[in-house]
Amino acid sequence: MKFMIKHHKGTNTAILVRKGKMPVTMLGALNASIKKWQTIVKYLKSHKGTYVNNGDARTCALCSINHGECDDCPVKYYEGRYAGCWNTPYMRYVDCACNKHVKLLGIAKQEVIFLTKVKKHWLENNASI
């Protein structure tokens, strides 16, 4: 699976799109989720002042493999909460975008770090999710 960002001409907005099939294993989904946010970070570094719509669940490999349910998501197990993505950098990114703040690059970097920790936790615990 690959990610690319399409810039809306004449605006300071872009959208992340995916190409190819979603992963079918949890490890593949974790790797794809990290890659998604690395793609956003790279784009934001070279396009200052641009808002990148992250595609939400449509581009989230973890959401795809879990059929949109948080119950079996490694983010939920890492966070130890009911709702998987709440109180994560992902939600701060979405909130920041809605409020037109300019801290998106830093938050996207935090999401990469966060997902890397989730992956490490999942691997260490050999979770059967």
Q: Give mean pLDDT, residues 83-101.
A: 78
- Model's pTM, two decimal places? 0.90
Q: Give mean pLDDT, residues 38-46.
A: 95
Higher pLDDT, 54 or 129: 54
Lowest mean pLDDT among 6-10, 31-35, 80-84, 86-90: 80-84
What is the pLDDT, as a whole number, of residue 123?
92
Q: Is residue 17 scored above 90 in pLDDT?
A: yes
Residue 70: strand, helix, or coil: coil
Check the CA dihedral 46-53-91-33 and report its sign.
Answer: negative
Output the CA–CA distances (angstroms, integers) from residue 73 to 14, 48, 89, 107, in the order listed. Answer: 27, 32, 16, 21
